[in-house]
Structure 1
Amino acid sequence: MAEAANSIDPDEVAKFEAMAAEWWDPNGKFKPLHMLNPCRLDYLTGQIATQFNRDLTGTRPFEGLRLLDIGCGGGLLSEPMARLGADVVGADAASGNIPVAQLHAEQSGLEIDYRCCAAEDLAAAGETFDVVLAMEIIEHVSHPQGFADTISQLLKPGGVMICSTLNRNPKSYMMAIFGAERVMRWLPVGTHEWSKFITPDELYELSRKAGLLPVDRRGMVFNPLSWRWSLSERDLSVNYAIAAVKP
């Protein structure tokens, strides 16, 4: 349980706790995630379907899969995963997020197991999952390698982790911090710390050291002309995601 105490950064939790009530406001502080969500879901569903040989044209293609959404927030990803048939556990260390997520799921007629806990708590309890989502969270933890190790412990053999984060370079600073926080005011100033951003090669290495096999990585690129996000095989310069499986 010592590792559980180490993985959570209380200052980072407090940032999101303060914004909890705005999770489902598409024009509020989480507007960037609402804009990004279709792109994220495109990547998630594709990787999960590939790993488990599921047909996405079906009504509930993820039926029978147990999925963990770490840092679930208000449930922006947990809810679509539940609609696709997955048995979803949404975990968040910010206690204020959980009632928001529970209420919205109830209003949407969805059964999702939301819990205020750390990933390490679930691992210590011996819980395992077919899919673990760690979207926009690893740049907010205090020990990324310990976090990756915990995800590996939570995955069943043959399971897949999908993790998204921000690259660390001058462009990501200009786009994600100066642009998104200070110019566009999409996020409160101080939401991100550039020094905590992780390069794709670093995330691959974290995954390998945790006993996972990276199988894919894609960039998520914002087009200011179309005002839309899209997946890119080449441009991982700012937002990106990787998929890694547990042998």
Structure 2
Amino acid sequence: MQTPQTTVDEGEIAKFEAMAAEWWDLNGKFKPLHMLNPCRLDYITSQIAGEFDRDLKAPSPFKGLRILDIGCGGGLLSEPMARLGADVVGADAAAGNIPVARVHAVQSGLEIDYRHTSAEDLAAAGETFDVVLNMEVIEHVASPIDYLRACHDLLRPGGLHICSTLNRNPKSFMMAIVGAEHIMRWLPRGTHEWQKFITPDELFEMMRDVGLDPVDRKGMVFNPVSWTWKLSDRDLSVNYVTASLRRA
């Protein structure tokens, strides 16, 4: 099969461009991501520290690492990575997100290389990274396996790929679409399409097919009583996150 020129889905991009100005509004349309962010960062930082033998208590523990945050949005993950000392490239196919991210980084005193581009274009340009963060993006692309192939190509040998997405089952439909979009109205209706959700086994199979070696997966579980998220070794029924390596 010939690889498409891009896996960008223009309809999906339009959804997020319409919300771009609200990225840093804690009570706006991206409130669910702000709530989820501490849980995501816990996983990301522990995986990076473990793989690259870094002490998270040290000053600038990620210094010397080049990290790509693909689908960076307003920079909710790019900024913490930069604060930890990494050389960060934040890329997004939605042009409207980039000015928002750049302005906020300047206001935060951070240097982050934000670009309006795609994974495929970065790979074609020969860019390589120690870590690729691929968080809540794969369920919005036109061809998940071709997108993962681009993420593989962007990694240096031994590089770490961290990917989160939504499982596909009746519970995820009720929680992520009916609950989050229709009842709680955390997200505009139509933000997610249930048929684009990917099971953990499907994701691992695609990763292996493109040359990535899956090494870990965990659930991210919401507690409606405390309104907090936590990592789970067992419950991957709705949100989950994975780690994989490029061996060669």
The alignment's TM-score, normalised by the length of structure 1, stands at: 0.98
Q: Tell me the residue number matched to 1:159.
A: 159
Q: Secondary structure at the match of 1:157?
A: strand
Instruction: Give 3-state SS (helix, strand or coil) of 2:26's partner.
Output: coil
Moved more, 106-115 or 5-14: 5-14
Residue identity opposite 1:15 in structure 2:
K
1:58-117 Cα deviation digits (max 9, x unpaired): 121100000000000000000000000110000000000000000000000000000000
* Matched position secondary structure for 2:6: helix
Deviation at 1:35, TM superposition (A): 0.2
Q: Which runs of 4+ in 1 moved over 2 A?
A: 2-6
Gaps of 5+ in 1: none
CA contact (8 A) 2:216 2:243 kept: yes
Code of the residue aligned with 1:113 in structure 2: it is D
Match of 1:54 in 2: 54
1:111-126 pair list within 5 angstroms: 111-126=111-126
C-alpha displacement at 1:6, in angstroms? 3.4
**Contact between 1:168 and 1:198, CA under 8 Å: does it hold in 2?**
yes
Aligned length: 246
Counterpart position of 1:228:
228
How far the C-alpha of 1:3 sits from its partner, in A, is 4.5
DSSP 3-state at the match of 1:203: helix
Q: Which runs of 5+ in 2 are unaligned?
A: none
Identity of aligned residues (%): 72
**Distance in 1 separating the partners of 2:5 and 2:71:** 16
Q: How does 1:93-132 map to 2 (within 5 A)?
A: 93-132=93-132
**Does the 8 A contact of 2:6 with 2:120 survive in 1?**
no
Distance 1:245 1:154 in 2: 12
Superposed CA deviations along residues 167-197 of structure 1, whole A, max 9, x for unmatched, are 0000000000000000000000000000000
The alignment's TM-score, normalised by the length of structure 2, stands at 0.98
- Equivalent position SS for 1:7: coil
**Partners in 2 of 1:5 and 1:234 — Cα distance?**
37
Do residues 66 (structure 1) and 66 (structure 2) align? yes
Deviations 1:8-66 (A, max 9, x none): 00000000000000000000000000000000000000000111010011121100000
Shift of 1:4: 5.9
Distance in 2 (CA, whole Å) between partners of 1:104 and 1:6 is 28
Letter of the structure 2 residue corresponding to residue 233 of structure 1: D
Task: Name the counterpart of 1:40.
Answer: 40
